[in-house]
């Protein structure tokens, strides 16, 4: 069955550094992958979507890469700030019937803390 | 901006009660979803709907049912609440047409349900 793994449950970095979060998937090849941010007690918020034929996607200080050979997506936040502290979730589409209907499979998330 | 509204932010119910969680979206989205989120388990899909009166089971439908009588409203029903249904419940919607770029999910703020 498809499996999503995010590199660690928690990542702590100093303000100004680049945060790199990893999402590995196994047993299938998603056509795209989404990244979400979730603050405590709130619903996730969509950040970026990257397709399998796109190596890299950027949005302001965010950058996502998609390596179909390594079966991995990397999520980078450059010049990180304490306000970036949150849980980040990767979400490829699910396998099987309905997979094109926006049914996503969410990783457990990586909790990022940026300290001053 | 798309708005997904969940009727209650916090809810406390007794074991055996029938519980209704309501969700309304205001952007004419085709797809609507119910997830639950538990510490260490991430987001798990309970049910989803891709059209009025249509529904499909997700990963953990047992003990739940749903209703979608109108396009903008998707209700989650706990037929007989149990303590293991204590969780954060998140509703989401997506456009459902127009390709991959429109399959991003918009989440509500969540309902923290406690079953005593």
- Cα distances from A66 to residues A51, A55, A69, A92, in angstroms, run 8, 5, 9, 11
The DSSP letter of residue B27 is S
Q: What's the pLDDT band for B86 if we cut at 50, 70, 90? A: very high
- A3-115 sits in which CATH class? mainly beta
pLDDT value for A101: 55
Q: How confident is the model at residue A27 (pLDDT cuts 50, 70, 90)?
A: confident
Whether residues A98 and B92 touch (CB distance < 8 A) is answered with no
Each residue of B34-78: pLDDT tens digit? 999 998 888 999 999 988 988 999 889 999 999 999 999 999 999
Q: Which domains does chain B have, with CATH numbers?
A: 4-109 (2.60.40.10)
B42 touches chain A (CB under 8 A): yes
CA distance B8 to B91: 12
B104: number of Cβ within 10 Å: 20
How high is the pLDDT of residue B39? Answer: 86
The 10 Å CB-count burial string (b at 16+, else e) for A32-59 is bbbbbbbeeebbbebbbbbeeeeeebee
- What is the rounded distance in angstroms from the CA atom of residue B116 to the CA atom of residue B86? 8
Task: Give the residue on B whose Cα is nearest the Cα of A110.
Answer: B42
CA distance A15 to A116: 5
pLDDT value for B24: 97
C-alpha B26/C-alpha B34 separation (Å) is: 16
Which chain B residues have a beta carbon less than 8 Å from that of A100?
A: 103
- Cβ of residue B101 closer than 8 Å to a chain A Cβ: yes
List, for residues A81-116, the tens digit of each pLDDT value. Answer: 999 999 999 998 876 544 455 678 888 899 999 999
Answer whether residue A63 shows pLDDT above 60.
Answer: yes
pLDDT over 70 for what percent of chain B?
97
- The H-assigned helical ranges of chain A are none
Query: What is the C-alpha separation between B41 and B49, in angstroms, rounded?
Result: 23
Contacts of A104 in chain B (CB under 8 A): 103, 105
Q: Which of residues 4-43 of A touch B (CB under 8 A)?
A: 31-32, 34, 36, 41-43
More confident residue, B38 or B100: B38
Among A36, A100, A103, the residue with its CB nearest the CB of B45 is: A103
Asked if B100 and A41 come within 8 Å (Cβ–Cβ), the reply is: no
Indicate the domain borders of chain A. Answer: 3-115
């Amino acid at each position: 069955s498809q499996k999503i793994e995010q590199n660690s449950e928690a990542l702590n970095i100093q303000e100004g550094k680049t945060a790199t979060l990893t999402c590995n998937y196994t047993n299938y090849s998603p056509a795209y992958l989404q990244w979400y941010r979730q603050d405590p007690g709130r619903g996730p918020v969509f950040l970026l979507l990257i397709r399998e034929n796109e190596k890299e996607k950027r949005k302001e200080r965010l950058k996502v890469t998609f390596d179909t050979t390594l079966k991995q997506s990397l999520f980078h936040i450059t010049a990180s700030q304490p306000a970036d502290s949150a849980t980040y979730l990767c979400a490829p589409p699910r396998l099987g019937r309905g997979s094109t209907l926006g049914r996503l499979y969410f990783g457990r998330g990586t909790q990022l803390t940026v300290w001053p | 901006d798309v708005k997904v509204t969940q009727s209650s932010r916090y809810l406390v119910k007794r074991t055996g009660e029938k519980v209704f969680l309501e969700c309304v979206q205001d952007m004419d989205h085709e797809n609507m979803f119910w997830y639950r989120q538990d510490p260490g388990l991430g987001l798990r899909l309970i049910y989803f709907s891709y059209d009025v009166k249509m529904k499909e089971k997700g990963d953990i439908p047992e003990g739940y049912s749903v209703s979608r009588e109108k396009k903008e409203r998707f209700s989650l029903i706990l037929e007989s609440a149990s303590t293991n249904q204590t969780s954060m419940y998140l509703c989401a919607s997506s456009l459902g047409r127009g390709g991959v770029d429109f399959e991003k999910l918009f989440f509500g703020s969540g309902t923290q349900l406690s079953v005593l």
